[in-house]
Structure 1
Amino acid sequence: MLYPAPLSRGSKVAITAFSSGVPAPLHPRLDLVLNDLRIRGFEVFEGKCLRENTKHVSEPAEVRARELMQFLCDESIDAIMAPWGGEMAMDLLPLLDWNRLQNAKPKWILGFSDVSTILTSVSTKLGWATCHGTNLMQLSLNQTDALTSKVFDFLSLAEGSSFRQVNADFYEEQYANYIKEPHAAFNLTESVKWKILNKDIREEDSVTFSGRLTGGCLDIHMMLYGSEFFNPIACGNEPFIFYLENAELSPTQYFRALQGLKLQGAFKNASGILIGRNAVLDNDSDPVSGTEALTMALGDLSIPVVYDMDIGHLAPNLTLINGALAKIELTQNQGSITQTLI
Structure 2
Amino acid sequence: MIQYPFLEQGATIGVTAPSSGVSSELHELLNAAFKSMEKKGFNIISGETAWVQNKAKSASAKKRAEEFNKMMLNENIQLIFPPWGGELLIETLEYIDFENIQDKWVLGYSDISLLLLAITLKTGVATAHGTNLVDLRGEYSDDTTAMWQSVLSTKKGESILQRSSEKYQKEWQFDNPTPYIFNLTEQTYWKSTVNDKVKIQGRLLGGCVDTIRHLAGTPYGDVRNFEENYIEGDSVIWFLENCELSTTDLRRSLVQMKLAGWFDNCNGILFGRSSANTSVTNYTVEDVYKELSEELQIPILYDVDCGHVPPQITFINGAYAEVKSEHGKGKVLQIFK
Query: TM-score w.r.t. structure 1 length?
Result: 0.91
Q: Secondary structure at the residue paired with 2:76? A: coil
Gaps of 5+ in 1: none
* Pairwise CA distance, 1:127: 1.3
Inter-partner Cα distance in structure 2 for 1:96 and 1:261: 23
Q: Give, in angstroms, the shift of residue 207 of structure 1.
A: 1.9
CA distance in 2, matches of 1:72, 1:280: 34
Gaps of 5+ in 2: 228-232
Q: Give the residue type in structure 2 aligned to 1:123.
A: T
2:15 partner amino acid:
I
Provide the rounded CA distance (Å) in 2 between the counterparts of 1:213 and 1:177: 32
Q: 1:196-239 CA deviation, whole Å, 9 max, x = no partner?
A: 11xxx326xx2212100001010112221242212222223210
Looking at structure 2, the residues matched to 35 and 257 of structure 1 have their Cα atoms a distance apart, in angstroms, of: 39
Alignment partners' CA distance in 2, 1:184 and 1:321: 23
2:230 equivalent in structure 1: none
Q: Which residue of 1 aligns with 2:212?
A: 221
1:118 deviates by 1.0
Percent sequence identity over aligned pairs: 34
- Does the aligned pair in 2 maintain the 1:278–1:290 contact within 8 Å? no
2:3 is the counterpart of 1:2? yes
Q: CA deviation at 1:182?
A: 9.7
Give the whole-Å Cα distance in 2 for the aligned partners of 1:184 and 1:11: 23
The two structures have a TM-score, normalised by structure 2, of 0.93
Give 1:192's match in structure 2, choosing from 165, 169, 188: 188
Q: Give SS of 2:51's match.
A: coil
* 1:176 CA drift (Å): 3.0
Q: Deviations over 1:119-152 (max 9, x none)?
A: 0111111211100001111112434321111211
Residue 132 in 1 paired to residue 148 in 2?
no
Which amino acid is 1:213 matched to?
Answer: L
Tell me how far 1:286 sits from its aligned partner. Answer: 4.6
1:27-86 C-alpha deviation (Å, 9 max, x unpaired) = 111110111111111110010111111011111111111101101111221010111100
RMSD: 1.9
1:280 is displaced (CA, Å) by 0.3
| Count of residues paired in the alignment | 331
- Offset of residue 279 of structure 1: 2.8
Q: Secondary structure at the match of 2:77?
A: coil
Q: Is the CA contact (8 Å cut-off) linking 2:56 and 2:88 kept in structure 1?
A: yes
Stretch of structure 1 that moved more, 253-262 or 307-316: 253-262
The alignment partner of 1:339 has SS state of strand
**Offset of residue 282 of structure 1:** 4.2
Tell me, in whole angstroms, the C-alpha distance in 2 between the residues paired with 1:275 and 1:39: 34
Runs of 4 or more, structure 1, over 4 Å off, are: 180-184
Q: Mark the CA change 1:116 to 1:169 in structure 2 (over 3 Å): closer, same or farther.
A: same
What's the counterpart of residue 122 of structure 1? 119
| Corresponding residue of 1:292 | 287
